Amino acid sequence: MLLTFVFFPFFCFLYAWCLEFILGKQKTLLLIAFSYIIIFFFGLIAFYNVCILTNFYYLTLGTWVNCGLVVINWGFLFDTLSISMLFMVSIVSGSVHFYSIGYMKEDPSLIRFMSYLSLFTFFMFILVTGDNFIQLFLGWEGIGLCSYLLISFWNTRVQANKASLKALIVNRIGDFGFLCGSLLLFYFLRSLDFSIIFLLVPYFKEILISFFGFDFKCLDIICFFLFLGSMGKSAQLGLHTWLPDAMEGPTPVSALIHAATLVTAGVFLIIRCSPLFEFAQVALTFIMLIGGLTAFFSATIAITQDDIKKVIAYSTCSQLGYMVFICGLSEYNLSMFHLVNHAFFKALLFLGAGSVIHSVSGDQDIRRFGKLTKLIPFTYSMMLLGFLALAGFPFLSGFYSKDLILEISFSKYFIGSIFSYWLGSISAGLTAFYSFRVLYYTFWADNNLFKYYLQNIHELPRNMGFALGVLAIGSLFSGYLLKEAFVGIGCSFWGNSIYKLDSNSVCLDLEFIPLSIKNIPLVFSCIGIFTAIVLNSILDNYKDITLINDNFYKNIVVSYPQCFVDIFWFFFHKWYFDYIYNYYLGYNILYYSYECFYKLIDKGFIEILGSQGLSSVCSKISIQIGKTQLGIIYHLSSFLFLGLILLILIIFIV
């Protein structure tokens, strides 16, 4: 049953391609939808059997490689961690499939789109259930390929093609790190199986590697490379630039990528490799700092964006920062708790944003929306619920995990964790600000749409509403229902799936944190909500100064001090990461590649000494020799005489 659960999305991919011409479009879509209902029930049974009854399974289908010490099996590991991920992915992916049937119904390539979604889900299942690094890498590369196919699904759009290539190329950097970490593990341990590697970690944690006269712990280097892979997939600071551009794909793709598959793969890698990271304290500190900076950095960008999908995209990047930096504090179970909660309300937000875009004929600029509360009330209620959960509103899913992350970061009591705590708290306030900014401009402000669009605004169909309803239930209750199991004190829910040193546990210290410290994130969130409503209502009164266009803010902020204007534009231009990468790295690399490698080596050295140079020299020699063949009798006789003398000399010498 477990293997059927894993391979069912692949069967959906196959019969989406094969049965369209036999059953027709509608029956094929109905079959795919029914398949994901079956997948959900398989996931429910697996969750009960593995997570509740604690029946863990190792299944081996066969051997990939058997050469000397190298033995790589096609195996599956079904433990609490993998089943929790599978169950969450199956719910979110099923909801996205149901939603896509209505959202993409006018697209002539709908079946191809659904098949890509199913293939995406299948590779995520392979990644989650693999019992070795090679199989995990297969799923890792598979979801990268599917993200490229889905982002560029509308391949007639230039920006979509550019965004898909950007996602693929940036993730190559992370994939290189993941591959280097795996190769180093194999070099030292002669195995890539999780069970063998995790068992041997305590015995090689003190091995040192000399590099430029400095000694580094081998385990720290391995964990750094593995985290580099996680940075690429989970869009951490430095390798984040592909994530907002991925919004060029259809909205259901954004929901699946940002909620349950691609971006969560990096966090899952860290959690799965917790026995490695626990003995690499330098790597953990680096992870904590990168995660905290990512959470703050992305939130500052989100407050300046006007594209509704890009606001939610940077929100994803910020929430991933929370998950990563709490992993750096060795609270992997809490990171997993926030990952599951985030999956529900983030998928809800993306699909809700898709409903808004769908109802207003494709516009994505929130400044053009307004007064949509009565026109699309169901979508409004879903978006409100999603943004409240994102902002950490009490008793919604985000409240249980995000506040606990900040409390634990404070209870570690060292400089790095306190620094991350304050970054996370400020980010919580910024999260509340941009959440209610989107709500204000979309549903509460004055409407700026053309009359034609207003007349055609409509609520979403029932199948799309069903998908939002399922995710809304998860956003409401997942935090409350899963808290004791995932992060409860003394709970053995995770078993051996997650490893944590006793010295890194601070669960009991949480009870002694002052109430004032616990309330700081809530205070920041309230300030963010109040500021968003008041500030944006004031800015809304200046709309008569200029048309709604790219110069809207430029005409508003001129009355503020210049330092505020500079800070705003710094955030608006995304901290100039794209500019630095494009003009200082990309341009210079291309320029020197052309000037040095192409001109000097390809067209210079290789053309002179290579086949082209040799043919050119032979051609010139033959031309010069040809000039001597004038056909005059004494020239011919002299050549004959010289040849005869040369032949006699050769005979006597030999």
Please tell me the predicted confidence (pLDDT) of residue 371: 84
More confident residue, 20 or 546: 20
Give residue 436's identity as a one-letter amino acid code: F
Q: Is the pLDDT of residue 415 over 90?
A: no
Alpha carbon dihedral 468, 470, 473, 477, in 10-degree steps, equals -130
Instruction: Write out pLDDT tens, residues 306-351.
Output: 889 999 999 999 999 999 999 999 889 999 999 999 999 999 999 9
pLDDT attached to residue 127:
94
Please check whether residue 467 is in contact with residue 351, taking contact to mean a CB–CB distance below 8 angstroms.
Answer: yes
Secondary structure (H, E, C), 480-540: HHHHHHHHCCCCCCCCCCCCCCHHHCCCHHHHHCCHHHHHHHHHHHHHHHHHHHHHHHHHH
Higher pLDDT, 509 or 415: 415
User: What pLDDT digit, counting tens, does each position of 447-466 carry?
Assistant: 777 777 777 788 888 888 89
Q: What are phi and psi of 188, to 5 degrees?
A: -85, -30
HSE-up (13 A, CA, CB side) for residue 602: 7
Structure tokens at 87: 């169950």
- DSSP SS3 for 360: coil
- pLDDT band for 546, please (50, 70, 90 cuts): very low
The amino acid sitting at 601 is: I
Residue 322: name the closest of 337, 311, 308, 310 by CA: 337
CB atoms within 10 A of CB 48: 13
Instruction: Name the percent of the chain lying above pLDDT 70.
Output: 93
Q: How do strand 70-78 and strand 208-211 relate by DSSP bridges?
A: unpaired
pLDDT over 60 (residue 557)? no
Number of residues written out for the chain: 654
Instruction: For the chain, give the mean pLDDT.
Output: 86
How far from 292 is each of 289, 377, 425, 426, 506, CA to CA, in Å?
5, 36, 10, 11, 19
Check whether 544 has a pLDDT greater than 60.
no
Give residue 129's pLDDT band: very low, low, confident or very high (50, 70, 90).
Answer: very high
Q: Find the mean pLDDT for residues 503-519.
A: 77
Span 363-389, average pLDDT: 89
- 72 or 218, greater pLDDT: 218
* Residue ranges covered by each domain of the chain: 334-541
Position 513 pLDDT exceeds 90: no
Torsion from C-alpha of 433, 434, 435, 440, nearest 10 degrees: 90
Distance CA 560, CA 422 (A): 27
Kindly indicate the confidence band of residue 621, based on its pLDDT and cuts at 50, 70 and 90.
confident
Give per-residue pLDDT as tens, 197-210: 999 888 887 888 87
Contact 313, 353 (CB under 8 A): no
Read off the pTM.
0.88
Nearest to 405 by CA among 314, 337, 474, 477: 337
Provide CB contacts within 8 A for 414, sequence distance 6+.
Answer: none
**pLDDT of amino acid 225:** 94
pLDDT tens for each residue of 145-158: 999 999 999 888 89
Give DSSP secondary structure letters for 316-347. HHHHHHHHHHHHTTT-HHHHHHHHHHHHHHHH
* pLDDT over threshold 80, residue 15: yes
